[in-house]
Structure 1
């Protein structure tokens, strides 16, 4: 692994569909795959740099991909990005990495991709960790959320996204405590923002999966910040009422990024869930 700007550069999977997906791969043991969310300058490392090493130190092999359209992965501008495309790229990346079965940890977009993987390839998914996943509400409900409205406003204005604009978006749209919107985080995201083409966010298609949640057979650990400004709260009960084997953590003083705002708690709960279910 080497540094590329502020971000580490790891491995590249040449997927069967012809696209190249970047991923970090650290540690030995049972496999845990971290699936990041969407947004400006998103990448796997930026989302989970405070989490995956805790599991590496505990004896797990951690894989942290950049989704198609994000990070150092390919960014095609001539295809749409339905959920099935994201799932296909993650599955084929795991094929290249030699992973037959794993636990998936996903937040936001990464959460609905984790759900898609578990529903379409249940034999590959041992457990799920979901942090305010997408796919639990309809588009009109997302559009009513203040954080989501801010994202649409920032990216619909046509104005350049400056570090100050990005910092404000994180501090007021994605977090409860603005102190977590650090200059280092903004620098990481700005680095990727320079190579994003915007097409992925414009063509993303995420279905409402609530009616399929009952199909999940694997154990699920869920997190939801009670100061969430991005995801509608009906997602809490959608998970609670429809997932059979669920442990659900509701975190106060927490926005969209529980793994950042309550890093130590998140890491402890994940390790306990991996070890004990």
Structure 2
């Protein structure tokens, strides 16, 4: 890999099982994996554009595109999506010969990080979860933001108007922070033919749908209370995609879980409150040295 002007590697693709996983790297030191969310057109670099350079001053930052997104293979096992994502980036760590890493995940990526801590606890060091998916999702109706997210590829199909509405009305607290260029870039990425034919994030369907939903709700998994990793949950108090009450659920069930509720912040804490997020991450991970 070659370096870009800001020190982030240009990226490369490696084979993990029967899929290709694209990732980028920056910095050196303890390994930190940044796992992006599941919105249309998402990718590792775009979701963490305000964090990578700062964190790379102290850590080896690894930023994959999760299966279904960016330049990684588009197939996701819809019978157990969180488990499949965890297996994919856990396999990436194996290929990179990284035996253990701090895991940072937003939304969909937060669910994948938590699932890896359950399935392969020896691979996870500390966890930082921002508005993670799968927290009490079967105990109440989906939020308006989650419904907008899940319906992007349904009905009349994807459109720039749909994406702009989701980003500005549901993803962030202050709609003015979402630029036209950001909408354009994510819209172009969301139109990948493989993705439109087989969206990675969608409502479970078919005879096993109920089983899949229950598998995707961590509060119904008895293993959650055994996740002993030091964990920091950061949640925007104005999150319109995943309910902020999920943070309290995690703090009550996980034995070593701290909770930080960010005021005037939506679902994208690492982007909306980048300075706060970078400071919290640095302080929390430095404790482990």
Shift of 1:157: 1.9
**Secondary structure, in 3 states, of the residue corresponding to 1:118?**
helix
Match of 2:209 in 1: none
- Between stretches 200-209 and 132-141, larger displacement belongs to 200-209
Q: 1:251 to 1:268 in 2, by over 3 A?
A: same
Shift of 1:113: 0.3
Match of 2:216 in 1: 207
**Secondary structure, in 3 states, of the residue corresponding to 1:105?**
strand
**Secondary structure, in 3 states, of the residue corresponding to 1:274?**
helix
**Secondary structure, in 3 states, of the residue corresponding to 1:201?**
coil
**Candidates 142, 146, 149, aligned match of 2:144:** 146
1:158 equivalent in alignment to 2:151:
no
Output the TM-score relative to the length of structure 1: 0.90
What is the rounded CA distance, in whole Å, between the counterparts of 1:180 and 1:151 in structure 2? 19
What is the rounded CA distance, in whole Å, between the counterparts of 1:113 and 1:77 in structure 2? 12
Shift of 1:37: 0.7
Match of 1:30 in 2: 30
8 Å CA contact retained: 1:137, 1:232 = no
Shift of 1:80: 5.2
What is the rounded CA distance, in whole Å, between the counterparts of 1:2 and 1:142 in structure 2? 45
**Secondary structure, in 3 states, of the residue corresponding to 1:92?**
helix
Deviations 1:161-185 (A, max 9, x none): 12x4322210101111112212232
Shift of 1:9: 4.9
Match of 1:13 in 2: 14
* Unmatched tracts of structure 1, length 5 or more: none
- Between stretches 44-53 and 225-234, larger displacement belongs to 225-234
**Candidates 227, 231, 249, aligned match of 2:242:** 231
Shift of 1:146: 1.6
Match of 1:69 in 2: 68
* Unmatched tracts of structure 2, length 5 or more: 205-211
CA RMSD of aligned residues (A): 2.2
**Secondary structure, in 3 states, of the residue corresponding to 2:23?**
strand
Deviations 1:208-246 (A, max 9, x none): 112432111111011111111111243122112011112
